[in-house]
Structure 1
Amino acid sequence: MSAVFNFTFVPWFRSVAPYIHLHRGKTVVIGMAGEAVAAGKLQHIAQDLALIQSMGVKIVLVHGFRPQANEQLLAKGHHARYSHGIRITDEVALDCAQEAAGQLRYEIEAAFSQGLPNTPMSGATVRVISGNFITARPIGILDGVDFMHSGMVRKVDVAGIMQTLDMGAMVLISPFGFSPTGEAFNLGMEEVATSVALAIQADKLMFLTEVAGIRNDPMQPESDDNPIDTELPLAAAEKLLSTLAPASIPTDTAFYLQHCVKACKGGVERSHILPFAVDGSVLLEIYMHDGIGTMVIDEKLESLREATSDDVGGILQLIEPFEKDGTLVKRSPTEIERDADHYTVVEHDGVIFACAALYPYPEAKTAEMAALTVSPQSQGQGDGEKILKRIEQRARASGLQSIFVLTTRTRHWFIKRGFVQVDPDWLPEARKRKYNWDRKSQVLVKKLN
């Protein structure tokens, strides 16, 4: 084994460890679009989910089957019909949906049963259990359209799902529900996944989809100037959703976003929109700092906000011990009061537990993140991560391409989060003139995608 491999693998594995610890014992509901299977992604997705489960994560997998059912319909000389973004399920469509779901469930179970040597599934034992966990009711007639055998979730068998997860099995749910009279109803994968996540109060809801996520400007096409918004606070997601037309196809911005918002409002702290086209997207989203798609997060926004002049005393009290031991450069009360609007703070019960300031240098398309501080009482609880994410959002919103920090003691923390060290000569001219060469602070930069 080469020394180069050791040099890259060991630091990487150590950097992932906190996320492994963080997610152990958590419950994740994954809504996988049928298009992912049609695109040939099932094997890798199954391998990744088996790996995640082996690290102590409880998984409920809800699969869709849109393209598979449409293929069955075409084979019988029929075409798919939709209204209000929902499939109209007549007798023929119901028959095709049942055939597609049965075949797809067989393929998924087979994918989790593989154990060939020298593959990620080698030695894995993944028990997949499916069943009648969903009770449904008909949609009925909506705006004059009879949806026939299309239904909505009436009830989720929470006890059955939780007992299955507690046995160490993965729960597999097809988007079908049954009425108390035994009628079968075709359901939307997105609604089923959201309903299950809400009912069992999952820690995460993740959609593996055809879309890459929510773009900074959803009205504009994909480009380097319109990147994916990797973290969307719930309030911002609700505001965006209110400006969008009702979704009719999965590629509409509102299609998955509406379910993410519903989940977060109902108590699911984080919901995600991930592209299945990116290999390992679930692994990247769970075990890497920046993730890969869009995460809608209900982080009790009153606790993460931009500072006001009323926060100056709390900020001073927070950073004073770190100024005394030389971790931070000393700032006067006047300076902090003057720059209060540059600060982002994390507040719990009226006490400020973390802060950081953003100082833009627009001419250089960059900004300095300064005075990043987390109280010793809350270190290890993710407040530093929250502040960093919000600072990145503020910088992106200002059209900046990078952020930088100057540090003497926390280099490794920043490197683990995507920063790279550069020479002080890299600094914008205005900042370089204020650089303290005696302090010898290290300069680290992070590009904003």
Structure 2
Amino acid sequence: MSSAAFNPAFVPWFRAVAPYIHMHRGKTFVVGVEGEAIAAGKLGGIVTDLALIQSMGVRIVLVHGFRPQLTEQLAAKGHEAQFSHGMRVTDPLALDCAQEAAGQLRYEIEAAFSQGLPNTPMAGATVRVISGNFITARPVGIIDGVDFRHTGLVRKVDVAGITRSLDAGALVLLSPFGFSPTGEAFNLTMEEVATRVATSLQADKLIFLTQKPGVAIRPEEPVSEGNPVDTEIPLAEARRIVARLPRPETPLDTGYYLSRCITACEHGVERSHILPFAVDGALLLEIYVHDGIGTMVVDEKLESLREATADDVAGILRLIEPFEQDGTLVKRSRTEIERDIGNYSIVEHDGVIFACAALYPYPEAKTGEMAAVTVSPQSQGQGDGDKLLRRIEQRAREIGLGSIFVLTTRAMHWFIKRGFRQVPPDWLPEARIRKYNWDRKSQVLVKQL
């Protein structure tokens, strides 16, 4: 069979995904799935994707909700659901219905993980699912005169028990139930269980699959074509958003999941995500594709902007090579980059370098050149260039420079919009004029600091 018969997009796609496969191997993800996702018929696709993710070495704890299933059980018994302070009031009948709904869903999920028909994504998969009494709970009690009865909160997570199960290669499945030391059962929320488990395990990711597609750029308004999802929100900004929103009462409120993501990040979970279960493959798109599909909340301590080290030389070469080939950048050898690596700053996302720039100072002229400015096509438009510019300006000020300059043949307007002005080449420091390529006719732009 000739190579032309194969999908030509597969090889570059697989190579682009490979760094994320390596990066996530051995990591722990806690995934919270709304009961609405199961009611919408999305269980099969979610289970298939989780099995695939686990097969690539990720340790998974799955927490399922059962909000619509419980409401349906109560309606079938002619009992109206009761809520207060954004929580369900769980009387004895509601507790019975909750146990019935949770048990039925748990069996459905276990059955879905047991599929293995030939010619399906689950063929050959062996996913062992372990459930158990890993959650100790306490009652919510009485708030403003409302007795929440069997509604509870997480008191303790059996970290050792869950860890042993994960170490054995199992997927841990948790229902939002907990038990007191006296054996009393309490109805919990999927969101609280998932958040507490993630923080107790110090999981690498907390992921919610929800009805909401994520948090919009303007969070007070619904997500739309003109108000798309904000793909990455720093923790400090997430706090500001929640502070100006009304108190969330339902999972459809913007702050409902965002506040859980904040809590997780504040307690050591590196990244928290809000994904739409309506999108087939949302988990795969968020975990293995750079742009993702939902909203990720990330602690600023994990800032991806840093100074380069010798270990980054190969990544920088890969990044700039296409731009050297098309003439955007002047070609630099590995030896040059290794020699000058201390001049480089990079933007790194999940272990992959997506942007770089270097500062070459000319102290005698109180200026410095911002060179090798490169942003990967995959992350252009996401602010990486602005991050690098700010870092180069900061580095220049720290060493007492009064200005920075760039030489460019194609990005003049980008720099002018950011405060640069064009000057003739003879403005350059004498040492730089000697290296100026008059045939290339690069434009010289300067910014005062």
Q: Which of the five TM-score ranges fits, normalised by the shorter chain? A: 0.7 to 0.9
1:221 aligns with 2:225: no
Structure 2 residues not aligned, in runs of 5+:
332-343, 349-354, 359-369, 388-405, 424-436, 443-449
Whether the 8 Å contact between 2:139 and 2:151 is mirrored in structure 1 is yes
Structure 1 residues not aligned, in runs of 5+:
306-310, 331-342, 348-353, 358-368, 375-382, 395-405, 409-423, 442-449
- 1:122 match: secondary structure: coil
Whether the 8 Å contact between 1:344 and 1:391 is mirrored in structure 2 is no
Give the corresponding residue for 1:206.
207
Evaluate the alpha carbon distance shift between residue 51 and residue 392 of structure 1 in structure 2; reply closer, same or farther with a 3 A threshold.
farther
Query: How far apart are residue 27 of structure 1 and its match?
Result: 0.2
Give the corresponding residue for 1:446.
none
Whether the 8 Å contact between 2:213 and 2:223 is mirrored in structure 1 is no
Evaluate the alpha carbon distance shift between residue 118 and residue 88 of structure 1 in structure 2; reply closer, same or farther with a 3 A threshold.
same
Q: Could you list the structure 1 runs, at least 4 aligned residues long, displaced by more than 3 angstroms after superposition.
A: 301-305, 325-330, 343-347, 354-357, 369-374, 383-390, 436-441
Give the corresponding residue for 2:384.
391
Give the corresponding residue for 1:173.
174
User: What are the superposed Cα offsets for residues 89-117 of structure 1, whole Å, 9 maximum, x if unpaired?
Assistant: 00111111000000000000000000000
Give the corresponding residue for 1:108.
109
Give the corresponding residue for 1:98.
99
Whether the 8 Å contact between 2:291 and 2:379 is mirrored in structure 1 is no
Evaluate the alpha carbon distance shift between residue 344 and residue 78 of structure 1 in structure 2; reply closer, same or farther with a 3 A threshold.
farther
Query: How far apart are residue 6 of structure 1 and its match?
Result: 3.0
Give the corresponding residue for 1:83.
84
- 1:7 match: secondary structure: coil
Whether the 8 Å contact between 1:130 and 1:171 is mirrored in structure 2 is yes
Alignment of 1:159-170 (within 5 A): 159-170=160-171
Query: How far apart are residue 52 of structure 1 and its match?
Result: 0.3
1:37 aligns with 2:38: yes
Evaluate the alpha carbon distance shift between residue 181 and residue 299 of structure 1 in structure 2; reply closer, same or farther with a 3 A threshold.
same
1:120 aligns with 2:113: no
Evaluate the alpha carbon distance shift between residue 5 and residue 385 of structure 1 in structure 2; reply closer, same or farther with a 3 A threshold.
closer
User: What are the superposed Cα offsets for residues 116-154 of structure 1, whole Å, 9 maximum, x if unpaired?
Assistant: 000000000000000000000000011221111000000
What count of residue pairs does the alignment treat as equivalent? 365
Mapped to 2, the partners of 1:246 and 1:199 lie a distance apart of: 26
Mapped to 2, the partners of 1:151 and 1:27 lie a distance apart of: 26
Residue 211 of structure 1 aligns with an amino acid whose one-letter code is K
Residue 391 of structure 1 aligns with an amino acid whose one-letter code is D
Whether the 8 Å contact between 1:35 and 1:210 is mirrored in structure 2 is yes
Give the corresponding residue for 2:21.
20
Give the corresponding residue for 2:399.
none
User: What are the superposed Cα offsets for residues 6-54 of structure 1, whole Å, 9 maximum, x if unpaired?
Assistant: 3111111111000000100000000000000000000010000000000
Mapped to 2, the partners of 1:274 and 1:344 lie a distance apart of: 31
Give the corresponding residue for 2:446.
none
Whether the 8 Å contact between 2:210 and 2:276 is mirrored in structure 1 is yes
Residue 28 of structure 2 aligns with an amino acid whose one-letter code is T
Query: How far apart are residue 391 of structure 1 and its match?
Result: 2.8
- 1:160 match: secondary structure: helix
Evaluate the alpha carbon distance shift between residue 386 and residue 185 of structure 1 in structure 2; reply closer, same or farther with a 3 A threshold.
farther
Q: Identity percentage over the alignment?
A: 68
Query: How far apart are residue 247 of structure 1 and its match?
Result: 0.6
Mapped to 1, the partners of 2:96 and 2:439 lie a distance apart of: 76
Give the corresponding residue for 1:445.
none
Mapped to 2, the partners of 1:303 and 1:392 lie a distance apart of: 13
Rg larger in structure: 2
Query: How far apart are residue 301 of structure 1 and its match?
Result: 6.3
TM-score, structure 1 normalization: 0.72
Give the corresponding residue for 1:3.
4
Whether the 8 Å contact between 2:64 and 2:190 is mirrored in structure 1 is yes
Give the corresponding residue for 1:46.
47
Mapped to 1, the partners of 2:32 and 2:438 lie a distance apart of: 53
Give the corresponding residue for 1:68.
69
Mapped to 1, the partners of 2:11 and 2:231 lie a distance apart of: 27
Query: How far apart are residue 346 of structure 1 and its match?
Result: 6.5
Evaluate the alpha carbon distance shift between residue 134 and residue 290 of structure 1 in structure 2; reply closer, same or farther with a 3 A threshold.
same
- 1:149 match: secondary structure: coil
Alignment of 1:366-385 (within 5 A): 371-372=372-373
Give the corresponding residue for 1:281.
282
Query: How far apart are residue 3 of structure 1 and its match?
Result: 2.2
- 1:300 match: secondary structure: helix
Query: How far apart are residue 299 of structure 1 and its match?
Result: 3.7
Residue 144 of structure 1 aligns with an amino acid whose one-letter code is G
- 1:6 match: secondary structure: coil
Give the corresponding residue for 1:360.
none
Mapped to 1, the partners of 2:140 and 2:289 lie a distance apart of: 40
Query: How far apart are residue 303 of structure 1 and its match?
Result: 7.3
Query: How far apart are residue 371 of structure 1 and its match?
Result: 4.7
- 1:135 match: secondary structure: strand
Mapped to 2, the partners of 1:437 and 1:5 lie a distance apart of: 46
User: What are the superposed Cα offsets for residues 290-330 of structure 1, whole Å, 9 maximum, x if unpaired?
Assistant: 0000000114167759xxxxx9xx9xxx99x99xx996569
Query: How far apart are residue 84 of structure 1 and its match?
Result: 1.5
Evaluate the alpha carbon distance shift between residue 392 and residue 250 of structure 1 in structure 2; reply closer, same or farther with a 3 A threshold.
farther
Mapped to 2, the partners of 1:34 and 1:267 lie a distance apart of: 27
Mapped to 2, the partners of 1:49 and 1:302 lie a distance apart of: 28
Give the corresponding residue for 2:150.
149
User: What are the superposed Cα offsets for residues 255-298 of structure 1, whole Å, 9 maximum, x if unpaired?
Assistant: 00000000000000100000000000000000000000000011
Mapped to 2, the partners of 1:385 and 1:6 lie a distance apart of: 21
Mapped to 2, the partners of 1:89 and 1:242 lie a distance apart of: 29
| Cα-Cα RMSD | 4.0
Evaluate the alpha carbon distance shift between residue 407 and residue 154 of structure 1 in structure 2; reply closer, same or farther with a 3 A threshold.
farther
Alignment of 1:48-447 (within 5 A): 48-300=49-301, 304=305, 371-372=372-373, 389-391=382-384
